[in-house]
Amino acid sequence: MSIEPLSTDVVNFIYDNIVSVEQLEILLLLHGQSDKEWTADEVSDQIRTSLASVRSRMAFFSNLRIFSSRTAANVTFRYAPSTTALASTIDAVSHAYKERRVSVIALIYSERQKSIRAFSDAFRLNQEKSDEENSR
């Protein structure tokens, strides 16, 4: 029996947006209960991690337009991806994590991911510098 590699969408989403298992678990918690509004305290209790980290991660996903937020007595977040393509990708990430947890965790912490991010950042800086010089 051969194991299929993780899909390109899953790999790219993880490379671009996930830096820790904690972060992925926060995403997947809200994904799995999309009808519920969550406070950072509730997520912190559920995931068993620091409140400050949860707040940061939830704000990050809100900025990516994966979570919506509402301010009442407490700020609450709900899984609400801004596009169907994004929702589909996160569904695939969730499925991959359920079926191939070790592969997903290895991907999150892989040296290759760090190398790709460093290359991408270097390319982006060079491109920005080039664009800046061309606009003069």
Once rounded to an integer, what is the mean pLDDT over residues 26-47?
A: 96
Q: Report the predicted TM-score, pTM, of the whole model to 2 decimal places.
A: 0.77
pLDDT over threshold 70, residue 58: yes
Mean pLDDT of all residues in 127-135: 55
DSSP letter for each residue of the chain: -PPPPPPHHHHHHHHHH---HHHHHHHHHHHHTTTS-B-HHHHHHHHTS-HHHHHHHHHHHHHTTSEEEEESSSEEEEE--SSHHHHHHHHHHHHHHHH-HHHHHHHHH-HHHHHHHHHHHHHHHHHHHHHHHHT-
Q: pLDDT tens digit string along 75-111?
A: 999 999 999 999 999 999 999 999 999 999 999 988 6
The ranges assigned to domains in the chain are 8-110
**pLDDT confidence band for 1 (50 / 70 / 90):** very low
Q: What is the CATH number of domain 8-110?
A: 1.10.10.10
